[in-house]
Structure 1
Amino acid sequence: MASRIEDYAMLGNCRSAALVARNGSIDWACLPRFDSASCFSALIGEDANGRWRIAPADAGATNTRRYIDGSLVLETVWTTTTGRARVVDFMPFEGEQVGIIRIVEGIEGCVDFDAVLTIRFDYGNAVPWVKRLDEETMTAVAGPDLLVVRSPVALEGEGMQSVARFAVREGETVPFALAWGPSHLPPPPATDAHVALRDSLAFWERWSGRCNDSGEWSDIVRRSLVVLKGLSYLPTGGIVAAPTTSLPEQLGGQRNWDYRYCWARDATFVLSALVNAGYHDEASAWRDWVRRAVAGSPDQLQVLYGLAGERRLEEFEVPWLAGYEGAKPVRIGNAASMQFQLDIYGELVGAFAHAIRHGVTLQPEADEVQAVFLEHLERIWREPDEGIWEIRGEPRHFVHSKVMAWLAFQRAAEQDRHGRDPAFTYRWRAVADEIRADILARGVDPERGCFTQSYGSKELDASLLLVTLTDFLPPDDPRIAATVRAIEEDLLVQGFVRRYDTRSGVDGLPPGEGEFLPCSFWLVENYVLLGRLDEARELFVRLIGLSNDLGLLAEEYDPRSKRLLGNFPQAFSHVALVNAAFSLAHGYSATADSHATPEAIDPQGVRA
């Protein structure tokens, strides 16, 4: 049975990721890419669907754990009645080779350990052919996949798993190295575990040491940025929403989605966080990924893509996996890739404008590409869409989507680059003015004076907290305060923000989900924008208190069961944390900065 979501740590090497439970079991790993079929699937199945546990034989052993010095290298210190030992887990950076290394080291006394390895390819379904090559090397093969495991401690077959029992004394180390390779080629070469550890720590130290200061929140901001870096796919610059699939938004429920892909919208928020933190190289890599992924006809723009920009992400169910705590179905792929979500156009144009303002250059053809997209958006902005939350129901005229369409034309009109045809500026400004008038006429509740979820509706939607963070209206406009107040009245649950009303099942699924953490961080930024700084700080402190002991956040939180819910760790949550922290540190909204006009930000980055 899988552990609580908050009991997991993530290992990563910017190509893939693995989740390690507090009990020493790796219950999830997809190799060689984030979106590859998993070889350890106990997280969303049973132990027999694949896991790799290394832990003391003493059932009463206790442990503490931490990430080493701004890295994704996990150190777990175990204490037993006979001694202490530590296990260092990481995914090495070594060319194209992808794998997991675990080093067991004695600290004092003598500690007996058990290692239990159960490999199941194809999401826990394919039993491999296991073969021993020599005393220290075994291989497991099924179909296209090969795993080679090397250790001075021999793993022996017991039933349908491989087991080793060994002891470590003070100063002794026992390494285990697992590497993936194509099954039709020779096994990947051996890796020196200690050299790989040194190199991995050096990589993370160089990277996390470049982070801009964010005042008293610098440590937790740096941790979130390391998570975001770990969720990036180094070969292409794509950034996955999360390394997992089908961790439920409600325990036992059906809101179980595959997040191992690159959402265009999420990436724009990640861009703003990276730029604010000083990581221009990563922002440039994201820029190039976007250009490749969305190039071509603008009517083919997708909500999400594969790691290299793949478009076909068909969704299917995996019936042989029991689901996390019984939450079924387990889904692979994501049908939302084919949805029409109008807001993406505005997010992309706004993100590029933000990047340019902070020194990230665009390609020479950027104006031409942008003009093609805006011409398409000019034709379609009046159409209903599925909205930011990918509601699987009838399309609607979502206010957030319309405001993001306005943002696209507004930003395009504001851009002043050499050689631009001034006719474009007049044209885009005219369309922006038309959309703005439409929203104010149809997207504001005349009784409450606040924005609504969609035209003609009385319902609210937490995406309106992003609407208020654009410069669609000035911060002192009464409709801004009224919208924040209405969301506090209708969508706050024990102090946390719900995305929208899911209790009635109006989105086509059974009712219920946890409170969406990014929305609560957006409320922090709105408090900053409105000058409610004490409330902003109080809410931010509550939110970061939901992180697990390693500073990791999932997508949602259930204040009733006091558990994290949804895929984990979630990029959207960590991006929202970073931007909220910068907002508090500098006294302005970091998300609003990415949506604001250049003239609205003074040279020091403080809202004028």
Structure 2
Amino acid sequence: MADYPLIADHGLIGDLQTAALVATDGSVDWFCSPRFDSPSIFGALLDHTRGGHFRMRPTADIVTSKQLYFPDTAILVTRFMTEEGVGEVVDFMPVSASAAPTGRHRLVRILRCVRGQITFAVEIAPRFDYGRENHEAHLSDDGVVFRGPRTSLAVHLVREPGDERLAEGALDEEGDVHARATLTAGMVRGAVLETGATEARAVRAAEVQQLFDETVRFWKSWLRQSTYSGRWRETLHRSAITLKLMTYAPTGGLVAAPTAGLPEQVGGERNWDYRYTWVRDASFSVYSLLGLGFREEAAAFATWLRDRVQDQRADGAAPLQIMYRVDGSSDLSEEILEHWEGYRGSSPVRIGNGAADQLQLDIYGEAIDSVYFADRHGIQAGHPGWLKLVEVLNWLADNWDQPEEGIWETRGGRQDFTYGRLMCWVAFDRGIRLAASLGRPAPVDRWRQERDAVYNQIMEKGWSHERQAFVQHYRTDVLDASLLRMSNVGFVSPTDPMWDSTLRAMDGELVTDSLVYRYDPAASPDGLRGSEGTFSLCTFSYVDALARAGHLDKARVTFEKMLTYANHLGLYSEEIALTGEQIGNFPQAFTHLSLIDAALRLNKILDQATPTLRAQPLSTIPGRQPAMAAATAAGTAGEGAGAAATSRPTAAPGDPPAG
């Protein structure tokens, strides 16, 4: 549908409490305030007629438009080339010095004529509360104020003395503003959108220049904390900035994506709200951010996780939900926006997430492994935090051996998922190691007994002699890309024949031209209709697994190919369709986390590699189709987070992973 730009045709800006997507045509298509998980103000991404937008673009025919980030920042520049001149829209959100939550957020949009003369058409059409709240608009010489029953928004004009005011005719019957601004070379105008404000005021060009300079200093100062100097440095830094943009500063929670409802298949029903903090994703962020040198963010998540565990119920229920709102609250009731058509007709559009109450046992391994990893980097839990960790592991000792929904948040019934059991093994193993290294009191004999029971169960029931591979759950022979983490966490050696056989089986069935599907849903129904693309985080996990197993040439080629699927700004959504189009929520944190981890691992092993190691081949197994056909690539519900790799060297079971 021509009215919808591609998902990948967007850039992300934000202020560490909320974010906006700006398309290459100069339109703000998605913006929620005051938080990531608040109702939308602009939502054209999910309904181009009823969603609302804030568009700035030339009136003349555009020869071409380009987007770039101002180097080492989250400031987005959209450039328009026309026959009359060259113009720019510079978009950013100033970052407050305080991490306290606030209802006031500013989105700065600077119009600049670079060459010749250019006239910009400006359309401001907010739709509060996902388009469910009506508004009134009030014009003044200095801008416009939009007011709804619960929402207010001021747009301050960037103007100089003598500029024309907005004409009364700029306001249409819908309460939207339409205006034009003609600029010659060197002129700067624009607007500053401010949520929660009730009056508009004039803003001088010097003031927005100061905001620009302060925002540049913030991002460059933050990025200077990075200690990474290896291969693909700019790519990793862009992923780090993207992850920072998706972190809610007041709590340290990392949202899975800043968007909701973007489809895993255009026209399909797999449309989920990702604007929440998953325990799994946020746990993996510790590896990635510490691997690059960003200690403050890793410590902030440790605090976030401690607070969630302290909130646990005393009624015997699971001590952790799989996800929370950015403020740590647990109400994520799911509803459908019946009045929105969805991206390119992909309905239903869901807000909230009904998977929040699912039982997913793997989150305990991921959370405790991140605590262990942080501890080895000098970020230690205090006594109250240790007591809560003991409570969590004692609960897990009583509850690990039961069916669950699994990492992919299936809605087709619980199973004994091998990945869930694997991460239970990790939880007990890391708890034992922490107790020993810190000298803390704990029932380690019981934990050791449960750890060994999990190990033996996986080897007995999670291994398929017919497939000669570890499989998705105990009642199937379906392969699952989440298990690419088995060597990463030290459950098997990367040179173990059972692991080599599993890798070869995955290569023959789940991999297509280096891209990796989660699993074959035709053989493992997940309770939903439709198909999906390859999962980008699984592809990066595949790179990590290949590198650890010594298949360096294949790992590097796979990684380099995957880099070609990024959008023009280096951003990734959740999945890649058969056409190479990015689909799913955008940008996705887990994809960028797994990119960083794969690059860290691959860079380190390449530096240490010998010619013999680099030459090891990876063959495929006979008797299976080379890769799943796209038509059978159906997926599952939910958050879609998966098998991200860590930056730790692998250890065999019984040996402590190197930090």
| TM-score where L is the length of structure 2 | 0.88
What corresponds to 1:57 in structure 2?
A: 59
**Structure 1 segment 424-503 matched on structure 2, within 5 A:** 424-503=443-522
Cα distance change of structure 1 residues 347 and 505 upon mapping to structure 2, 3 Å threshold: closer
TM-aligned CA deviation for residue 598 of structure 1 = 10
Cα distance change of structure 1 residues 5 and 598 upon mapping to structure 2, 3 Å threshold: farther
1:101–1:178 Cα contact (<8 Å) kept: yes
**Structure 1 segment 515-554 matched on structure 2, within 5 A:** 515-554=534-573
Point out the more displaced range, 344-353 or 148-157.
148-157
Counterpart-to-counterpart distance in 1, 2:423 and 2:14: 33
What corresponds to 1:275 in structure 2?
A: 290
1:26–1:40 Cα contact (<8 Å) kept: yes
Point out the more displaced range, 274-283 or 90-99.
90-99
Counterpart-to-counterpart distance in 1, 2:418 and 2:447: 20
TM-aligned CA deviation for residue 425 of structure 1 = 2.5
What corresponds to 2:171 in structure 1?
A: 157
Point out the more displaced range, 328-337 or 465-474.
465-474
2:403–2:417 Cα contact (<8 Å) kept: yes
What corresponds to 2:124 in structure 1?
A: 117
Counterpart-to-counterpart distance in 2, 1:283 and 1:255: 31
Counterpart-to-counterpart distance in 2, 1:35 and 1:601: 37
What corresponds to 2:69 in structure 1?
A: 67
Counterpart-to-counterpart distance in 1, 2:201 and 2:305: 35
Deviation string 1:16-51 (CA, Å, 9 cap, x unpaired) is 111111111111100111001001111000234200
TM-aligned CA deviation for residue 124 of structure 1 = 2.2
Q: Report the secondary structure of 2:94's partner residue.
A: coil
TM-aligned CA deviation for residue 300 of structure 1 = 3.9
What corresponds to 1:87 in structure 2?
A: 89
Q: Report the secondary structure of 1:216's partner residue.
A: coil
2:251–2:300 Cα contact (<8 Å) kept: yes
Q: Report the secondary structure of 1:52's partner residue.
A: strand
Cα distance change of structure 1 residues 504 and 526 upon mapping to structure 2, 3 Å threshold: closer
TM-aligned CA deviation for residue 143 of structure 1 = 2.0
Q: Report the secondary structure of 2:463's partner residue.
A: coil
Deviation string 1:75-131 (CA, Å, 9 cap, x unpaired) is 122221122121111111235431211001121211111001111101123231111
Point out the more displaced range, 256-265 or 407-416.
407-416
Pick aligned residue for 1:420 from 430, 436, 440: 440
Counterpart-to-counterpart distance in 2, 1:124 and 1:494: 42
TM-aligned CA deviation for residue 549 of structure 1 = 0.7
2:156–2:200 Cα contact (<8 Å) kept: no
Deviation string 1:365-405 (CA, Å, 9 cap, x unpaired) is 22211110011001111111000000001100000000100
What corresponds to 1:389 in structure 2?
A: 408
Q: Report the secondary structure of 1:593's partner residue.
A: coil
Give yes or no for the alignment of 1:586 onto 2:601: no
Cα distance change of structure 1 residues 351 and 387 upon mapping to structure 2, 3 Å threshold: same
Pick aligned residue for 2:362 from 302, 323, 343: 343
What corresponds to 1:409 in structure 2?
A: 428
What corresponds to 1:175 in structure 2?
A: 190
Counterpart-to-counterpart distance in 1, 2:534 and 2:570: 18
TM-aligned CA deviation for residue 457 of structure 1 = 1.2
Cα distance change of structure 1 residues 154 and 569 upon mapping to structure 2, 3 Å threshold: farther
2:156–2:201 Cα contact (<8 Å) kept: no
Counterpart-to-counterpart distance in 1, 2:171 and 2:72: 38
1:271–1:351 Cα contact (<8 Å) kept: yes
TM-aligned CA deviation for residue 418 of structure 1 = 4.3
Point out the more displaced range, 499-508 or 236-245.
499-508
Cα distance change of structure 1 residues 190 and 384 upon mapping to structure 2, 3 Å threshold: farther
Counterpart-to-counterpart distance in 2, 1:491 and 1:578: 22
TM-aligned CA deviation for residue 361 of structure 1 = 2.3
Cα distance change of structure 1 residues 131 and 175 upon mapping to structure 2, 3 Å threshold: same
1:220–1:551 Cα contact (<8 Å) kept: yes
What corresponds to 2:629 in structure 1?
A: none
Cα distance change of structure 1 residues 80 and 592 upon mapping to structure 2, 3 Å threshold: closer
Point out the more displaced range, 103-112 or 580-589.
580-589
Cα distance change of structure 1 residues 362 and 188 upon mapping to structure 2, 3 Å threshold: farther
What corresponds to 2:613 in structure 1?
A: none
What corresponds to 1:511 in structure 2?
A: 530
Point out the more displaced range, 218-227 or 500-509.
500-509
Cα distance change of structure 1 residues 118 and 583 upon mapping to structure 2, 3 Å threshold: same
Point out the more displaced range, 495-504 or 159-168.
495-504
Counterpart-to-counterpart distance in 1, 2:258 and 2:523: 30
Amino acid aligned to 2:440: R
Cα distance change of structure 1 residues 246 and 126 upon mapping to structure 2, 3 Å threshold: same
What corresponds to 1:145 in structure 2?
A: 151
1:414–1:425 Cα contact (<8 Å) kept: no
Counterpart-to-counterpart distance in 1, 2:165 and 2:24: 24
What corresponds to 1:35 in structure 2?
A: 37
Counterpart-to-counterpart distance in 1, 2:648 and 2:438: 24
1:505–1:512 Cα contact (<8 Å) kept: no
TM-aligned CA deviation for residue 292 of structure 1 = 1.1
Deviation string 1:175-207 (CA, Å, 9 cap, x unpaired) is 20001117xxx5488763222111111110111
Counterpart-to-counterpart distance in 2, 1:319 and 1:67: 36
What corresponds to 1:202 in structure 2?
A: 217
TM-aligned CA deviation for residue 467 of structure 1 = 2.1
Pick aligned residue for 1:107 from 93, 114, 119: 114
What corresponds to 1:223 in structure 2?
A: 238
User: How many equivalent pairs are there?
Assistant: 597
TM-aligned CA deviation for residue 419 of structure 1 = 4.3
Deviation string 1:292-331 (CA, Å, 9 cap, x unpaired) is 1232236241010000111010000001111001000000
Counterpart-to-counterpart distance in 1, 2:165 and 2:528: 49
Cα distance change of structure 1 residues 188 and 303 upon mapping to structure 2, 3 Å threshold: farther
Q: Report the secondary structure of 1:382's partner residue.
A: coil
TM-aligned CA deviation for residue 592 of structure 1 = 6.1
1:48–1:118 Cα contact (<8 Å) kept: no
2:488–2:645 Cα contact (<8 Å) kept: no
Amino acid aligned to 2:590: F
Give yes or no for the alignment of 1:6 onto 2:12: no
RMSD (Å) for aligned C-alpha atoms: 1.9
Counterpart-to-counterpart distance in 2, 1:600 and 1:101: 49
TM-aligned CA deviation for residue 505 of structure 1 = 7.4
What corresponds to 1:242 in structure 2?
A: 257
Point out the more displaced range, 579-588 or 35-44.
579-588
Q: Report the secondary structure of 1:257's partner residue.
A: strand
TM-aligned CA deviation for residue 154 of structure 1 = 4.3
Amino acid aligned to 1:350: D
1:257–1:334 Cα contact (<8 Å) kept: yes
Q: Report the secondary structure of 1:164's partner residue.
A: strand
Counterpart-to-counterpart distance in 2, 1:592 and 1:204: 24
2:601–2:647 Cα contact (<8 Å) kept: no
Q: Report the secondary structure of 1:158's partner residue.
A: coil
Gaps of 5+ in 2: 607-643
Pick aligned residue for 1:565 from 573, 583, 593: 583
1:119–1:127 Cα contact (<8 Å) kept: no
Amino acid aligned to 1:105: R
Pick aligned residue for 1:129 from 108, 132, 136: 136
Counterpart-to-counterpart distance in 2, 1:284 and 1:217: 26
Cα distance change of structure 1 residues 300 and 143 upon mapping to structure 2, 3 Å threshold: farther
Deviation string 1:220-275 (CA, Å, 9 cap, x unpaired) is 00000000000000111110000000100011100000000000000011111001
Counterpart-to-counterpart distance in 2, 1:362 and 1:332: 35
Amino acid aligned to 2:77: E
Cα distance change of structure 1 residues 113 and 61 upon mapping to structure 2, 3 Å threshold: farther
